[in-house]
Amino acid sequence: MDERWVLRTPETMARTQLIDFAERFEMVLEDLAALDAPRVVAEGFGLLPELVRPVLADPRHAVFLLPTPDARRRNYARRAWLGIEGTSDHARASRNKLDRDALLTDHVRRTAAALSLAAVELEGSEPLEYLIISVERRFGLAEAR
């Protein structure tokens, strides 16, 4: 676990994660296609704008939810991190993971903007209903409520 979370830089971890996301994306598409549903909402850290954009019928069909740094820290403080507990330097592993995820969030923000895809920053304190209505409006579904 030290090799993964302590000895590598956050930049290396982010680059590796981007490669992993790209390698798994085809499997995600296969799983979504197997649902045979008229509409699907897919959520996940690995759904990157540069992977998602080519499969969209319309760029308005995607929105990327981005945690602020404070929201990310609060979220991490509330849940256990599998694997990090087994490292020799928990504090450094935690910092590295937070920094890696900040780099990935910045990547999604920049790439979404470059591809004219919507991105919404979330503080994490917004009520779930606010999030649902915001996403429905972006997809033109608010009228159906």
Query: pLDDT tens across 23-77, in order?
Result: 999 999 999 989 988 777 888 889 999 999 999 988 988 999 999 999 988 888 7
Do 114 and 59 contact (CB within 8 A), yes or no?
Answer: no
Provide the residue range defining the domain that includes 42.
Answer: 2-144
Report the domain count for the chain. Answer: 1
Please give the model's pTM, rounded to 2 decimal places.
Answer: 0.88
